[in-house]
Amino acid sequence: MPRLIPAAERLVLARALIQKAREYPLPTDGGKYDFSYVAQVKDLLRQARDLVKYLPHSAGAGAEIKADALKILKEADLADEEILH
């Protein structure tokens, strides 16, 4: 059984994954249109979204955590636009 991750830790992990996606090295031969690069970046952003996507709807999470989770979801979308488009 997987271990439960507290909401505050989920926020920190999601931010770290978004930062990792931003810092992912661009391939020299294909640039940002290399399929492997796009897949890796999208996977990192997906993992970040998956960590926090249910927090805004959780009854046990406080208002501050819900707001931070929504902010992280928007950050992930913005990072996707900035990195890949």
Q: Give the residue among 71, 83, 79 at the shortest CA–CA distance from 11.
A: 71
Which amino acid belongs to residue 85?
H
Cα–Cα distance, 25 to 11 (Å, whole number): 24
pLDDT of amino acid 31:
80
What pLDDT shows up at residue 11?
A: 97
Question: Tens digit of pLDDT per residue, the chain (85 long)?
Answer: 678 999 999 999 999 999 999 999 999 887 888 999 999 999 999 999 999 999 999 888 899 999 999 999 999 999 999 999 8
C-alpha 28: how far from chain center? 25
**59 — phi, psi (to 5°)?**
-75, -25
